[in-house]
Structure 1
Amino acid sequence: MKILIIEDEESLAHTMREYLTGEGHVCEWVSTVPAAEEKIGVYDYDCVLVDIMLPGGSGLDLVDMLKKQQSQAGIIIVSAKNALDDKIYGLELGADDYLTKPFHLSELNARLKSVIRRRQFSGNREITFGEIKIIPDSKEVWVKGKEVVLTRKEYDLLMYLVVNANRVLSKGAISEHLYGDEIDQANSFDFLYSHMKNLRKKLTEYGCPDYIQTIYGVGYKFAQ
């Protein structure tokens, strides 16, 4: 999962980023409204964690911006403000959840998973695509009743392909999802070719049809 943390309290942002990275997520961090506007104006995220009180404006304005862009990102407001009006207004703007500081990191991670299940998988705890079954909470992948052991990046790649099934995905978009926004400065996509090759090999070895279609000059498409 690719996450943008918008938080001006540096120690908290560092703790959140370190924890969520350890849980297998790709995390970007900004501390001001202008920096956040630049990020969400250029890059796509699975989930955005946004504080309300920020240098340069309000986090609620960022929620409004995301919804006007028709962003598919889940939005969780993370704020020390516990005023009912702020909570209601944030949810009315389109935020998916509201978490009041202080909070346990495990609760944050659980809410992240819940938001993604609701937004991307209609709340299902298991995802099925053809011969593939994925259990996101335990990061298990099964093909024809046999578990397929994937690396973290291979699993993240598969999830991204399944979420975006039947869409043509550019090599740049896939790479940013796997490694973060700075990867757009990479000189080649050799690392992506390697992950794609290994994922395709592991799935087909278990009898799965090859759903990964190479769109030459553009990227890939995951389709039956």
Structure 2
Amino acid sequence: MKILIIEDELGLQRSIVQYLMAEGNLCSMASTYAEALERLAVYDYDCILLDLTLPDGEGLQLLNYLKRMNKTEGVIIISARNSIEQKIEGLSLGADDYLIKPFHLSELNARILAVVRRKSAHGERHIEFNEIRIDLDAKEVIVNGKVVYMTKKEFDLLLYFVANKGKVISKSAAVEHIWGDDSDMADSFDFIYTHIKNIRKKLIDAGSKDYFHSVYGVGYKFTDI
């Protein structure tokens, strides 16, 4: 998953990043309101961890920005403010969860997984597309009852396409999803073609139909139509 941590307490920020990256996530950081706004304007994320008190702005204003821009990232507020009024305001503005500092990183991780699951799979622990079943907890791909081995990037990429089935995904969007905010450093999108080629072969070898369709000059679409 791709996660943005908006937190000005650098020690806590580093601890969160180290923990979540060890869990296999891509993490980006912002320590100020301005940095956060810049990242949100350019990139999309699976989940945003949002501190309310920033040195140059108010975290709740970022929730208003996300709402105005019709962005669909999951948002977890992480705050030392423990008032019911603050929780209600944050949740009413579109936050998905509210976690009071201090907290255990394992709890934070569980909350992130729950929010992303609700967003991408309507609360289910798996996603199904015809003969393909993706287990979100075990991070397994199952075709016709048989587990298909995928690398982490292949799993993330397949999940991204299945969650966005029927939509045209540009090569740049696919690169950003599996590379993160450093995607603009890539001098070629050839590796996306290689990943999709490998995923396609593994699925077909397991008895799946080929659902990846190239859209000339743009990218790919995952569909059975």
Asked if TM exceeds 0.5, the reply is: yes
Tell me the residue number matched to 1:13.
Answer: 13
The Cα offsets for residues 173-194 of structure 1, whole Å up to 9 and x where unpaired, read as 1111101112123110122122
**Where in structure 2 are the equivalents of 1:1-224 lying within 5 Å?**
1-224=1-224
Count of residues in Structure 1 that have an aligned counterpart in Structure 2 = 224
Which amino acid is 2:183 matched to?
I
Greater shift in the superposed pair: 138-147 or 211-220: 211-220
User: Which letter maps to 1:211?
Assistant: Y
Deviation at 1:23, TM superposition (A): 1.3
Whole-angstrom distance in 1 between the partners of 2:210 and 2:24: 26
CA offset digits 1:86-139 (Å, max 9, x no partner): 111101101000001111111111111111121221111121011100110110
C-alpha separation in 1, matches of 2:129 and 2:24: 22
- Runs of 4+ aligned structure 1 residues displaced above 2 Å come to none
Letter in 1 for 2:117: R
**The residue matched to 1:24 in structure 2 has which SS?**
coil
> What CA distance in whole angstroms lies between the structure 1 residues aligned with 2:55 and 2:92?
23
TM-score, normalised to structure 2, is: 0.97
How far apart are the structure 2 equivalents of 1:90 and 1:43?
22
Letter in 2 for 1:95: A
> How far off is 1:12 after superposition?
1.0
SS of 1:180 mapped into structure 2: helix
Q: What whole-Å deviation, never above 9, does each CA across 1:178-220 have from its counterpart, x for those lacking one?
A: 0111212311012212211111111111011111111121111
TM-score (normalised: structure 1)? 0.97
What is the identity, as a one-letter code, of the residue corresponding to 1:195?
A: H
Amino acid at match of 1:106: S
Q: Tell me the distance in 2 between the aligned counterparts of 1:220 and 1:115.
A: 27
The separation in 2 between residues aligned to 1:68 and 1:173, in whole angstroms, is 21
Q: How far apart are 1:13 and its partner, in Å?
A: 1.0
How much has 1:55 moved relative to structure 2?
Answer: 1.6
1:161 deviation in Å? 0.5
Give the C-alpha shift of residue 7 in structure 1. Answer: 0.5
User: What CA distance in whole angstroms lies between the structure 2 residues aligned with 1:22 and 1:73?
Assistant: 22
Matched AA of 2:38: E
Output one character per residue of 1:12-69: Cα deviation in whole Å (capped at 9) or x when no partner. Answer: 1111111111212111111100111111111111111100011210111111111111
